[in-house]
Amino acid sequence: MQAIPTIDITPLREPNHPDRAACVQQIFEACTNIGFLSVTGTGIDPDAVTRVRRTVQDIFEVDEESKWRQAITRENYRGFIPFGFFTPNDGSGTPDRYEGYKLHFECAADDPVRAEFPLYGPNRWPREIPEAKAVLLGYWAQLDRVFHLLMGALAEGLGLDPRDFRAPFVKPMTNMTVLHYPPQAPEEDGYGIHPHKDTDALTIIAPDPVGGLEVLTRNGQWVSPDCPPGGFVVNIGDMLELWSGGRLVSTPHRVVNKTGKERYSFPYFAVPRHDVVVEPLLPPLDGFDRTPVHSGHWNAEVWRTNWPDETASEDTPELGTLHV
């Protein structure tokens, strides 16, 4: 499969729909061949996405001084990510050309889970945009429903009990990065986000109309998802590839914004609960050899190694690594 298919997932929302089995098969084939698909029929009102996009634009219009006061720190991976703040861990040293705002699973300050793992806690919401919390959490809840529909379909495709993919996402480490990519000059080196694979289980994103997302096919070509209006782009992450024993494919992708326009994005990254150990639920395919990954440890390492002066250690999971 060298193109990214578009699939109407309406049958997943209706258990007795006559096309349900065919829909599950289409999703499974896309995720075992290219690891990306565009989905329609999610039940999410397009107006909700419009509200989120408008809110995201407002977030990045906050003045720079205030952004730095509300920026992420080593102690709190929530808040503004200043432009050019992080560089790829591949040693290239070329900063990715975006600014962001990091959100994690919303957790009350007195929730007992905070004593179990330090990355849980309440989000830091931009003070200048009071409506941001309600708008983004409402959208997040709708994506949670789509996520569970897709995970149930993938469980069916793999011959697993759908509960195998539901229990790990009670109080998950799911997170969202709100992103702004200023336009790059045509002759400018670097990327909006450098080529990488997602380290989560499943990613869902409402594509920005200006484009810029590119996916690497099996034959080495970079292609853009042809997602219709109101649709969402979905891709497999390394954790789900590991759970499936290599059957579901985590695929490299990148962002290049040379359109001359401002690009805004707000991907949803589904990550299991902090104490979940991700390991194959089926016998691994020949040649697939990945060690189990502890979700909490992985999250802590992602956060630690995002800082330019930190490097991966021997026990850092190789999720997301591009072997060249």
> Do 199 and 241 touch, CB atoms closer than 8 A?
no
The H-or-E segment that residue 27 falls in is helix 20-33
Phi, psi of 97 (to 5 degrees): -95, 75
Give the Å distances, CA to CA, from 140 to 9, 136, 143, 298. 18, 6, 5, 22
Q: Residue 83: its pLDDT value, please?
A: 86
Q: Return the amino acid letter for 12.
A: L
Confidence band, pLDDT 50/70/90 cuts, at residue 139? very high
Q: Residue 88: its pLDDT value, please?
A: 57
Token pair listed for 148: 């569970």
Q: What is the mean pLDDT of residues 278-290?
A: 96
Q: What is the mean pLDDT of residues 112-123?
A: 92
Counting runs of H as helices and runs of E as strands, what totals does the chain give? 6, 15
CA distance 199 to 9: 24
Confidence band, pLDDT 50/70/90 cuts, at residue 92? low
Strand pairing category for 263-265 and 193-196:
unpaired
Non-local (6+) Cβ contacts of 52 within 8 A are 135, 136, 139, 206, 266
Residue ranges and CATH numbers for the domains of the chain are 6-305 (2.60.120.330)
CA distance 76 to 67: 15
Token pair listed for 60: 């990045």
> Do 119 and 77 touch, CB atoms closer than 8 A?
yes
User: What's the whole-model pTM score?
Assistant: 0.95
Q: Residue 322: its pLDDT value, please?
A: 81
E strands present in 118-219: 175-181, 193-196, 202-205, 213-216
Per-position b or e across 122-137, b if 16+ CB within 10 A of its CB: ebbbbeebeebbebbe
